[in-house]
Amino acid sequence: MTSTVRDTASRSSATKGFRHPGRVIAAAFATAIVVGTALLSLPIATAGEGRASLLQALFHATSAVCVTGLVTVDTGTYWSGFGQAVILLLIQAGGLGIMTLATLVALLLSRRLGLRARLIAQTETKAISAADVRRVVRAVVVFSLASEAVIATVLTIRFATGYDQPPSSALYSGVFHAISAFNNAGFGLHPDSLMRYVADPWISLTVAAAVIVGGLGFPVVFELAREWRAPKTWSVLTRITVIVTAALLAAGTIGYLIAEADNPDTLGPLGPGTTVMAAFVAAAMPRTAGFNNLDIAALDPETLFLTDVLMFIGGGSAGTAGGIKVTTFGLLAYVLWAEMRGDPDVEVGRRRVPGANQRQALAIALLAIGVIAVSTFVLEALTDFSFDQVLFEVISAFSTVGLSTGITADVPAAGQVLLVLLMYIGRIGPLTLASGLALRERARRHQLPEERTIVG
């Protein structure tokens, strides 16, 4: 009897803690940003004399916690070892926090919506208990740290053997770029990011693989590890994530090859094999990685637009990527396909997607478009940059990508504050909105009369 009461109380306490997950997420990230801003404002955080301004510290702390990668100064030379360590810790905290909180929210929503998400070892989760929370958090942390260790090992060996870096320097560079890549942060120790490694497959492909895996999301990676041989049994989440991710990588690679093959400042000077590899890596980075192996400022207008689209879509749910998420985009594509065929239901594989999920996807996409449109208008009014540059910067900040045409440092103070808000909203917004919409669902005891209207 006592054990039953204790278990019930534990389950009730855990559920109550996630009753309003949006508030928890927003408060956690805001607190981390405040702490990071305070640490980066210290004189010891900068390599030269003086200290970073409050806005500069706030901008970089937000960019690190929200794993974006937009910077106004060079990370490798402006910040001291202490400052770089703070940025690295903020990236790690932001990445782990995103994956943990997003996965726990997905666990909560899977119970509320009755979806077989398979987020933990059990086939289906009926309720959230303290044991479930501990198991999920432990699995996310172990998976993240193990992945970063493997990536860091490969990069360290390559830096030491291929570029004659001393062991300590190679290890530091390997660890820094591994954490930044897996968490889709995009912070690098070189002012040209990965451009110097554009022809090096060991570094370029390793970083790209880290970005893709980190951006898939823990639930998808976990399910793929268990059931990669049986695609027919995949959940809707995994099926949409894998299909859309593969499609975007292929379309992005082909798009870069077509648009940039003759550009002497990007893919033009590279050999055939290197060109394909560079195009693939460049297409993987807009998943919200922030690294660039090509000069973004030298891209043709059509390539900038392609990158805008890839950044807006982003990566997988419950992962370190940003954007509206491939699941949102993929679900809307399935909705469009069902509507074009005249099907009454939206089906993915052998599962029917409830109308609530469809409305949530539509709400996230439309609100994201609205935020980007308003922010682009404001930033365009504050600066003299071209529309392409401003739109690219806004989408990059909102989608927590970190790619830039090089205008970030020249944006006025008011514009940088806007970018800070965009990074924060873009990081917590889609997840908070999705959880809030799902948890607000309630049954209605009556329905109003139906009336069709003209559409189009």
First to last CA, the chain: 62
- What confidence category does residue 133 fall into, taking pLDDT thresholds of 50, 70 and 90? low
Q: What is the DSSP string of 313-369?
A: H---TTSS--SS-HHHHHHHHHHHHHHHHT-SSEEETTEEEPHHHHHHHHHHHHHHH
SS3 49: coil
- What confidence category does residue 98 fall into, taking pLDDT thresholds of 50, 70 and 90? low
Q: How far apart are CA 212 and CA 233, in angstroms?
A: 22
Q: Is 259 left (phi over 0), alpha (psi -120 to 50) or beta?
A: alpha
Q: For residue 4, is pLDDT > 60?
A: no
Strands (E), 81-143: none
Residues β-bridged to residue 46: 79
Q: Which uninterrupted H or E stretch holds 348?
A: strand 346-348
Q: How far apart are CA 184 and CA 286, in angstroms?
A: 10
The predicted pLDDT at position 448 comes to: 73
* Domain residue extents for the chain: 18-438
HEC-encoded secondary structure of 138-155:
HHHHHHHHHHHHHHHHHH
Average pLDDT for the chain: 85
Mean pLDDT within 223-231:
86
The predicted pLDDT at position 99 comes to: 62
- What confidence category does residue 284 fall into, taking pLDDT thresholds of 50, 70 and 90? very high
The predicted pLDDT at position 349 comes to: 82
The predicted pLDDT at position 303 comes to: 96
The predicted pLDDT at position 450 comes to: 76
Mean pLDDT within 126-138:
57
Lookup result for tokens 């991710």:
245
SS3 351: strand
Q: How far apart are CA 179 and CA 189, in angstroms?
A: 12
Q: Which amino acid is at 452?
A: R
Lookup result for tokens 């930044």:
180
- Backbone φ, ψ for residue 410 (5° rounding): -95, 0
Residues β-bridged to residue 346: 353
The predicted pLDDT at position 320 comes to: 79
CB 63 within 8 A of CB 395: no
Q: Positive or negative, the Cα torsion across 322, 327, 330, 331?
A: negative
The predicted pLDDT at position 34 comes to: 96
CB 214 within 8 A of CB 182: yes
The predicted pLDDT at position 443 comes to: 61
* Highest mean predicted confidence (pLDDT) among 27-36, 54-63, 131-140, 420-429: 54-63
CB 90 within 8 A of CB 61: yes
Q: For residue 242, is pLDDT > 80?
A: yes
- Report percent pLDDT > 70 for the chain: 83
The predicted pLDDT at position 130 comes to: 46
Residues β-bridged to residue 347: 352
The predicted pLDDT at position 332 comes to: 94
Please count the other Cβ atoms lying within 10 Å of the Cβ belonging to residue 50. Answer: 7
Q: Which amino acid is at 337?
A: W
Q: What's the predicted TM-score (pTM) here? A: 0.86
Q: For residue 429, is pLDDT > 90?
A: no
Cβ within 8 Å of residue 217, ≥6 positions away: 99, 102, 103, 241, 315, 316, 317, 318, 319, 321
CB 107 within 8 A of CB 220: no
- What confidence category does residue 101 fall into, taking pLDDT thresholds of 50, 70 and 90? low
The predicted pLDDT at position 139 comes to: 80
Identify which has the larger pLDDT, 120 or 202: 202
Identify which has the larger pLDDT, 435 or 6: 435
Lookup result for tokens 């690219």:
392
CB 415 within 8 A of CB 407: no
- What confidence category does residue 441 fall into, taking pLDDT thresholds of 50, 70 and 90? low
The predicted pLDDT at position 420 comes to: 97
Strands (E), 26-134: none
Identify which has the larger pLDDT, 234 or 450: 234
CB 409 within 8 A of CB 63: no
Q: Which amino acid is at 116?
A: R
The predicted pLDDT at position 119 comes to: 37
Q: How far apart are CA 108 and CA 126, in angstroms?
A: 9
Q: For residue 118, is pLDDT > 70?
A: no
The predicted pLDDT at position 123 comes to: 31
Q: For residue 434, is pLDDT > 90?
A: no
Q: For residue 367, is pLDDT > 70?
A: yes
- Report percent pLDDT > 90 for the chain: 59
CB 261 within 8 A of CB 268: yes
